[in-house]
Amino acid sequence: MATKLIAAAVLAVLLGFSVLRWRTAQLHTKILLGLGIGAAAGIAGKFWFPGADWLLWIVDNVANPIGQVFLRMLFMIVIPLIFGSVTLGVASLGDLKKIGRIGGKAFGFFFATTAAAATIGLTLMNVIAPGRRMDPAVRADLLAEYGGEAASRVGGGVDFGINTFVNIVPRNIVDTMARMDMLGLIFFSIVFGIALTQIPKEKAKPIMDILDGLVEAVSRIIDYAMRLAPYGVAGLIFAVTVRFGTDVLQSLLFYVMTVMLGLILHLTGVIGLLAKFLLGIPYRTFFRKCRTLMVTAFSTSSSNATLPENIKTAEEEFGVPKEIASFVLPLGATMNMNGTALFEGMTVLFLSQVFALGLSIPSQIAVVILCVITAVGAAGVPGGSIPLLALILTTVNIPAEGIALILGVDRILDMSRTVPNVMGDQLTALFVAKTEGVALDTTG
Ligand code: ASP
């Protein structure tokens, strides 16, 4: 009874505070309020009326639709945004040498931070070893409950070989766009941008003007979408919390907490400190300027959906030039996933502990390498890394069905790992800009 009263009081205070602040609040505060209200209402609903039909009705007919409209508004512009901005970025960079230099720096930084993330993850998992504590009965229950879903999510598996690279080159660009194959689209846009620099100026200029207008219009649509963000975020988080299985959370609590700890350590320890010591951005300023970015990543669970906000943050908050932000960040959203690599490494080791299949140090090093590679291949959408996780598991001889054990808590981990994913991209764009001689805006 006492806990219910406390929960009611917290919800009432939050609602009252939000109503008072709403009219004058800035967008990022509204998004945070939306996140808080959605989560509190979802937890309260689940707590007081577990499984009630009307609650699920609200999820299906109100919360989810609002959240999906917000998400779709963001996804809707990702293709024109990537095509327009990467092409323009490459074309404005002008010479091939500069494009190669910037691309090289970005890749180097992506790989270094992703490898650091996976190493942190594996080290923590070795130390805390939550997999050794799992009760075999709980393991059997989870395998039975999520086994079917795991099989459908993993699908026929992912082949990784020479064709993975060949397939980056699109056969049909319309098909590539329709399938939202980001690597293929980026490849096409880079080649198209380079070609624009090599044809006569009077022919290239009209196309660049059109692309400029396209990116401008798309940016306006992002503003519309972000105005919806406080409501969309509230809807998404409400649906997640109402549907979230607290029983699963309890049986996997140690695992979830260890992964969260790893993500927080990487975000605050590696990303935050690199921003401070490498780029000279005061610690708090860095995170304050990235507030909206982090909340958008957390609530959408998607690097792609967060890409527009990521570009906006780099340009408007830190003064990264357009051609760098629009070249590096789409690459990052597709190829650089620090949180995902950390999560994959930890989960592989966790499952090896659950199944009592020891992973030797050389195998763990192989896991780090595989995490870095597969984080490049994972799609920046909710749950995008699950099929690739299966690939790593199979490679190191751990049963891929083990994914069933963690699927029940994947959504919350997905939301959380997407935050370091996009923050790693932002950091890379800042690093590239700084090393290209840009004076970053580190004030405010
Ligand atoms: N949701 C992640 C992202 O979009 C990908 C994943 O780890 O599943 O960055």
Cα 154 to averaged position of ligand 1 atoms, centre (Å) = 15
Nearest to 160 by CA among 434, 316, 360, 388: 388
- Locus of tokens 């992703």: 114
Instruction: For ligand 1, say whether the CB of 119 is within 6 Å of any of its atoms.
Output: no
> Is 83 part of any domain?
yes
Cα 411 to averaged position of ligand 1 atoms, centre (Å) = 10
Tell me if residue 408 falls in helix, strand or coil.
coil
> Is 102 part of any domain?
yes
- Locus of tokens 């960079």: 93
Name the residue of 259, 299, 301, 409 whose CB sits within 8 Å of the most ligand 1 atoms, as the mutation to test its pocket. 301
Which regions in the chain score pLDDT beneath 50?
Answer: none
| Total count of domains within the chain | 1
Instruction: For ligand 1, say whether the CB of 384 is within 6 Å of any of its atoms.
Output: yes
> Is 25 part of any domain?
no
HSE, side-chain direction, 13 A CA sphere, residue 216: 6
What CA–CA distance (Å, rounded) separates 330 from 327? Answer: 6
Instruction: For ligand 1, say whether the CB of 417 is within 6 Å of any of its atoms.
Output: yes
What per-residue confidence (pLDDT) applies to 154? 67
Cα 90 to averaged position of ligand 1 atoms, centre (Å) = 26
On whether the CB atoms of residues 321 and 88 are closer than 8 A, the answer is: no
What per-residue confidence (pLDDT) applies to 123? 96
What CA–CA distance (Å, rounded) separates 301 from 420? Answer: 11
> Is 408 part of any domain?
yes
> Is 441 part of any domain?
no
Please tell me whether the overall predicted TM-score, pTM, comes out greater than 0.85 for this model: yes
Contacts of 174 (CB under 8 A, 6+ apart): none
What CA–CA distance (Å, rounded) separates 17 from 25? Answer: 11
Cα 407 to averaged position of ligand 1 atoms, centre (Å) = 14
What is the DSSP track for 311-366?
A: HHIIIIIH---HHHHHHHHHHHHHH--HHHHHHHHHHHHHHHHHTT----HHHHHH
> Is 16 part of any domain?
no
Nearest to 406 by CA among 376, 383, 375: 383
> Is 323 part of any domain?
yes
**Amino acid letter for position 333:** A
Instruction: For ligand 1, say whether the CB of 331 is within 6 Å of any of its atoms.
Output: no
Instruction: For ligand 1, say whether the CB of 324 is within 6 Å of any of its atoms.
Output: no
Give CA angle at 420 (417, 425), nearest 5°: 130
Residue count (the chain): 444
Cα 272 to averaged position of ligand 1 atoms, centre (Å) = 20
On whether the CB atoms of residues 269 and 391 are closer than 8 A, the answer is: no
- Domain of 182? 73-435
CATH number at residue 141: 1.10.3860.10
Q: Which atom of ligand 1 is found nearest the CA of 379?
A: 5
> Is 320 part of any domain?
yes
